[in-house]
Structure 1
Amino acid sequence: MSTNIHAQADHGLSHVMSPKLLIGVLATLVLLTLVTVVTATQPIFNFGAYPNLIIAMVIATTKATLVCLFFMHLLYDRKFNLVIFMGSLLFVLLFVSVAMMDTGQYQGAIERRVDAQIEAQAK
């Protein structure tokens, strides 16, 4: 018969970060959400919709990074996981950049074609 020689004492629940830090990150996320709403509703720059979209995307990426680093404990995890996260952010940035360039390249042609179809139907 085997005997259990290890103590069965509870080690307790430990948390890597202090509640003060987590509340600070939460407050930052709420503030960035408010900035995103203001950016989406009030044009900050008079350059068109793209600068406001870029600002909103940067804020959203910053918020996602904060959530991953602090609430998902990626900051204190193995560095390989951080490298994977940063690599995925770079690939998303590449994908969105190419999609926005494509949209900017052909948006005028699409609008002209739609306008021509509307004029043809009106006649």
Structure 2
Amino acid sequence: MKDTTRDTKALERELEEELHSTGYGTYILVWLGLIGLTAITVTVAGLNLGSFALIAALIIATVKSALVVNYFMHIKFDTPIFKIFVTICIIVVLTIFIITFFDYLYREPLI
């Protein structure tokens, strides 16, 4: 006798994957958005914004990375525990970057 609960769960997973699959149109729109944001980044880099150029570039890069993670890595359709895990990893990496930047900012000159 076959285990019907195992077959049912496998079928449910397959149906869920089909429901969450995005079409080519979504990927093309995300790709066009990434190209547009890259053009904005290059334009902002050419402007004389001083220290705000770096802030603008980081904000645009954050939006671009969110698009890539959500659509191309399919985090948007994953289970909540996986989303929490990815969020914790991002927070840890950002914390390490911030600590490094502050260390560099307040370091005494060697000469």
Matches within 5 A, 1:93-112: 93-106=94-107, 109-110=108-109
Shift of 1:75: 0.6
Distance 1:99 1:40, change over 3 A: farther
Unaligned segments of structure 1, at least 5 residues: 1-10, 114-123
When residues 55 and 92 of structure 1 are mapped into structure 2, their CA distance, relative to the original with a 3 A threshold, is farther
Deviations 1:21-73 (A, max 9, x none): 221111111111122223334332x4x3xx32232222222212211111111
Partner of 1:53: 54
Cα distance in 2 for residues equivalent to 1:101 and 1:42: 27
Match of 1:18 in 2: 23
TM-score by length of 1: 0.62
Percent identity between the two aligned chains = 27
| 16 and 58 in structure 1: CA distance in 2 versus 1, 3 angstrom threshold | same
Match of 2:35 in 1: 30
* Aligned residue pair count: 94
Aligned to 1:90: 91
**Which gives a bigger RCO, structure 1 or 2 (Cα 8 Å, sep 6+)?**
2
CA displacement 1:91-120 (0-9 Å, x = unmatched):
2221222222222212xx43x82xxxxxxx
Higher helix share: 2
CA distance in 1, matches of 2:56, 2:65: 14
Give the 3-state SS of the residue equivalent to 1:17 in structure 2. coil
CA distance in 1 between counterparts of 2:75 and 2:57 reads 24
**1:66 and 1:35 mapped to 2: Cα distance?**
15
Distance in structure 2 (CA, Å) of the matches to 1:102 and 1:54: 19
Instruction: Tell me how large the CA RMSD over aligned residues is.
Output: 2.4
Q: List alignment gaps of at least 5 residues for structure 2.
A: 1-13
Describe the SS at the equivalent of 1:87: helix
Question: 1:20, CA displacement in angstroms?
Answer: 2.1
1:118 equivalent in structure 2 = none
Separation in 2, partners of 1:96, 1:39: 23
Aligned to 1:40: 45
